[in-house]
Amino acid sequence: MQFPQWPRQAANHFRQRFDVHSLQFQLTIGIAAMSVVGISSVTLGIAWKLDYLIISSHKKQVEQLAKRFSESVEIYSEMMSVDEAIERAIAYLATEENSIWVVRPDGTIARSPSLARGGQERLLLVADRQATPIPKVFRIRESYWAICAGDLQVDAHTVGTINIARNITVDRQMFRKLLWTLSSVSAIAIGVITIAIAFYIKKSLQPLQKFSQLTASFSAEQLGKEQLYLDSAPSELHQLENAFNQMLERFHESWEHQREFVSDVSHELRTPLTIVSGYLQSTLRRGSNLTDPQKEALTIASSEADRTVQLLEDLLELARADSGHLHFRKEPVFLNDFASEVVEMAKQYNPDRAIEFENSPELIEVCADFNRLKQVLLNLIDNAVKYSPSDRPVTVTVSRDKDRGIIQVRDRGPGIPLAQQTRIFERFYRPDEARSRTTGGTGLGLSIVKTLVEGMGGMVSLRSKQGEGSIFMVNLRLIDSNLKKVQQIK
How near is the Cβ of 378 to ligand ADP at its closest, in Å?
11
Provide the H-helix boundaries in 231-334.
235-286, 292-322
Nearer to ligand ADP, 324 or 431 (CB): 431
Residue 327 or 437: the one with the smaller Cβ distance to ligand ADP is 437
Amino acid at 235: S
Q: What DSSP character marks residue 443?
A: S
Q: Cα dist. 213→16, 47, 209 in Å?
A: 21, 50, 6
Q: How far is CA 266 from CA 32, 180, 271, 307, 314, in A?
A: 62, 84, 9, 13, 9
Minimum distance from CB of 468 to ligand ADP (Å)? Answer: 11
Q: Is 240 left (phi over 0), alpha (psi -120 to 50) or beta?
A: alpha
State the minimum distance, in angstroms, from the CB of residue 346 to ligand ADP: 14
Q: Cα(86)–Cα(111) distance, rounded to whole angstroms?
A: 9
How far apart are the C-alpha atoms of 20 and 27, rounded to whole Å?
10
Cβ-based nearer residue to ligand ADP, 38 or 431 = 431
C-beta contacts of 73-77 below 8 A and 24+ residues apart: 73/152, 73/154, 73/159, 74/154, 74/155, 77/154, 77/155
H helix intervals, 18-159: 23-76, 82-93, 113-116, 121-130
* Least distance CB 307 / ligand ADP (angstroms): 9
Alpha-helix residue ranges (DSSP H) falling in 287-369: 292-322, 335-349
- Complex with ligand ADP: residue 160 or 413, whichever CB lies closer: 413
The number of CA neighbours under 13 Å toward the Cβ of 421 is 16
Q: In the beta sheet, which residues pair with residue 400?
A: 405
Which is closer to ligand ADP, CB of 59 or CB of 430?
A: 430
How far is the C-alpha of 137 from the C-alpha of 300, rounded, in Å?
109
In the complex, least distance from residue 281 CB atom to ligand ADP, rounded to whole angstroms: 22
Nearest approach, Cβ of residue 371 and ligand ADP (Å): 19
Task: Give the nearest distance from C-beta 351 to ligand ADP in angstroms.
Answer: 20
User: 198: closest CA among 77, 357, 343, 33?
Assistant: 33
Q: Which is nearer to ligand ADP, 167 or 395 (CB)?
A: 395
Q: State the minimum distance, in angstroms, from the CB of residue 271 to ligand ADP.
A: 22
Nearer to ligand ADP, 409 or 478 (CB): 409
Residue whose CB is less far from ligand ADP, 190 or 376: 376
Distance, CA of 470 to CA of 409 (rounded, Å): 8
Task: Kindly give, in sequence order, each residue whose CB lies less than 8 Å from that of residue 263, ignoring residues fewer than 6 positions away.
Answer: 315, 316, 319, 320, 323
Q: Which residue of the chain is nearest ligand ADP when measured via CB?
A: 441
Q: Strand, helix or coil at 85?
A: helix
Tell which residue, 240, 253, 251, 323, has the closest CA to residue 228. 240
Longest dimension (CA), the chain: 161
Nearer to ligand ADP, 172 or 430 (CB): 430
149 vs 318 by CB, closer to ligand ADP: 318
- Name the residue among 442, 353, 360, 359 with its Cα closest to residue 390: 353
Q: Are 396 and 474 in contact (CB under 8 A)?
A: no
Which residue lies nearer to ligand ADP by CB, 207 or 469? 469
Q: Which is nearer to ligand ADP, 160 or 441 (CB)?
A: 441
Minimal distance, residue 375 CB to ligand ADP, in Å: 12
Pairwise CA distance, residues 258 & 332, whole Å: 36
What is the closest distance, in whole angstroms, from the C-beta atom of residue 436 to ligand ADP in the complex? 3
Residues that bind ligand ADP (CB under 6 A): 383-384, 387, 411, 413, 416, 424, 430-432, 436, 441-446, 470
Residue with smaller CB distance to ligand ADP, 115 or 355: 355
